[in-house]
């Protein structure tokens, strides 16, 4: 477990563990590291140093600078957070979209963005509403106490992404099981092999019988990119894998951690229950407060002069989403969890050309999920003390709850 206290022989260690008693909030040490300035050096698990950027202006500048900053994890000094992250990179998960630079990234992103426009996202509202309601019905049928993670937070994003991609949800065990294993270091290679094999079979099935069964983005890419020779089968399968995993795991964890944050602040739950018009603001506050992805990793390929210092070519960069989201210069009273706060987009979906392509979809899912959860279960409460809930608050990667027993 890393601690942010500076050692006698170098910068403070990173990543910083979340408090065991509060898995939905990043450590206050993120903002303390930013007190001396918007950029500071930190030391990673492998002994390498990297810049930690906590200033909002500097974060925007780094995330927008695709000419002098690279997202490719294959760069020698790319700041990997731990061995788990290293295994995920080696597995090939980051070989597309989230781990490539322009012009490759530009081409890939352009092929998927028509499926994530505001208009296309809005057309999914009724389907998402049905998925949410069906999952809440299943939560009731499971009896009290029920696990909100497995009965609600996991199936809703999984079914939504299945709908968007054209993946038959009846296959969900074939992609959910390896998707969960992907972030277990010793299972990452095995998980990638299983996911790629499933997606290859799915692509072949769609080619044999186009238009049959579930259809979506994968079908569009087969017709518009694969068959004309603009995209290889391997690239198509990797894009589908990346979107399937990223589009489910992140939203799942925001739903579970956000629900826990609301339940741990009963006055906020009551405010939402009394005024459902607060839902959009509540979603933005949950995204800020949870700061699910605490840092965005990059590496400088040229020298970059910023207000706060000079990042030299070859140096690793960690843009602290948690540090910016809790910076008092960026947000008033940042330590308060307040859903009445005027909505202000946080850094939770990143910034610049690598901003999450599905942010519109994620917000719609979250708004519907929290609205219906409060409407259906106004007296919802956690059945287990927060400090006893199992989470991965020590490893510095994507934050998650493994279970959240609730009653009503």
| CATH at 395 | 1.10.630.10
Range of the domain at 380: 6-407
Q: How many C-beta neighbours within 10 Å does residue 378 have? A: 13
**What is the pTM assigned to this prediction?**
0.93
- Which stretch of DSSP H or E encloses residue 51? strand 49-53
Per the domain annotation, does 381 fall within a domain? yes
Q: In the structure, what pLDDT confidence band is assigned to residue 255 with cuts at 50, 70 and 90?
A: very high
Q: Are 294 and 400 in contact (CB under 8 A)?
A: no
Q: How many domains does the chain have?
A: 1
* pLDDT number for residue 191: 85
Q: How many C-beta neighbours within 10 Å does residue 48 have? A: 15
State yes or no: pLDDT of 5 exceeds 50: no
Q: In terms of Cα–Cα distance, which of 270, 404, 244 is closest to 340?
A: 270
The DSSP call for residue 383 is: S
Q: In the structure, what pLDDT confidence band is assigned to residue 190 with cuts at 50, 70 and 90?
A: confident
Per the domain annotation, does 1 fall within a domain? no
Q: Please report the beta strands in 215-373, taking only residues with DSSP state E, as ranges in sequence order.
A: 295-300, 304-306, 309-311, 316-320
Per the domain annotation, does 161 fall within a domain? yes
Per the domain annotation, does 216 fall within a domain? yes
Per the domain annotation, does 123 fall within a domain? yes
- CA 331/CA 129 separation, integer angstroms: 32
What's the angle, vertex CA 348, arms to CA 26 and CA 298, rounded to 5? 90
Q: Are 374 and 400 in contact (CB under 8 A)?
A: no
Per the domain annotation, does 82 fall within a domain? yes
Q: Which residue has the tokens 């994530």?
A: 116
Q: Please report, for the chain, how many H helices and E strands are present, in that order.
A: 16, 12
State yes or no: pLDDT of 394 exceeds 70: no
- Which stretch of DSSP H or E encloses residue 143? none
State yes or no: pLDDT of 41 exceeds 50: yes
As a whole number of Å, the CA-based R_g of the chain is 21
Q: What is the pLDDT of residues 92-105, one digit of tens each?
A: 667 899 899 999 99
Q: What is the pLDDT of residues 337-360, one digit of tens each?
A: 999 998 877 789 999 999 999 999
Per the domain annotation, does 126 fall within a domain? yes
């Amino acid at each position: 477990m890393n601690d942010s206290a500076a050692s006698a022989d170098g910068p403070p260690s990173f990543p910083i563990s979340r408090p065991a008693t509060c898995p939905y909030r990043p450590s206050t040490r993120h903002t303390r590291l930013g007190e001396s300035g918007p950029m500071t050096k930190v030391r990673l698990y492998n002994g390498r140093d990297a810049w930690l950027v906590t200033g909002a202006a500097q974060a925007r500048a780094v995330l927008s600078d695709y000419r002098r900053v690279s997202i490719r994890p294959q760069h020698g000094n790319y700041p990997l957070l731990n061995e788990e992250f290293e295994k995920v990179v080696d597995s090939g998960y980051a070989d597309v979209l989230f781990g490539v630079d322009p012009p490759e990234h530009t081409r890939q992103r352009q092929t998927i963005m028509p499926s994530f426009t505001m208009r296309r996202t809005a057309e999914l509202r009724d389907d998402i509403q049905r998925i949410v309601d069906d999952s809440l019905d299943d939560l009731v049928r499971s009896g009290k106490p029920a696990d909100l993670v497995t009965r609600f937070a996991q199936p809703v994003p999984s079914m939504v992404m299945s709908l968007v991609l054209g993946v038959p949800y009846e296959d969900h065990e074939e992609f959910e099981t390896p998707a969960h294993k992907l972030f277990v270091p010793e299972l990452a290679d095995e998980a990638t092999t299983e996911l790629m094999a499933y997606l290859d079979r799915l692509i072949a099935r769609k080619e044999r019988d186009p238009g049959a069964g579930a259809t979506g983005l994968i079908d569009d890419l087969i017709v518009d990119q694969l068959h004309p020779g603009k995209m290889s089968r391997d690239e198509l399968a990797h894009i589908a894998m990346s979107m399937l995993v990223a589009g489910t795991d992140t939203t799942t964890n925001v739903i579970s951690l956000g629900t826990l944050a609301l339940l741990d602040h009963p006055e906020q739950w009551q405010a939402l229950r009394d005024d459902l018009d607060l839902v959009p603001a509540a979603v933005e506050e949950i995204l800020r407060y949870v700061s699910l992805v605490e840092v965005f990793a990059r590496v400088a390929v040229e020298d970059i002069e910023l207000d706060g210092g000079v990042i030299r070519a070859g140096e690793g960069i960690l843009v602290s989403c948690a540090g910016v989201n809790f910076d008092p210069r960026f947000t008033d009273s940042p330590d308060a969890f307040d859903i009445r706060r005027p909505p202000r987009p946080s850094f939770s979906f990143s910034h610049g050309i690598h901003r999450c392509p599905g942010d519109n979809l994620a917000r719609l899912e979250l708004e519907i999920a929290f609205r219906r959860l409060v409407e259906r279960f106004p007296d919802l409460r956690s059945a287990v003390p927060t400090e006893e809930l199992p989470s991965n608050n020590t490893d510095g990667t994507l934050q998650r709850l493994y279970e959240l027993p609730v009653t009503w």
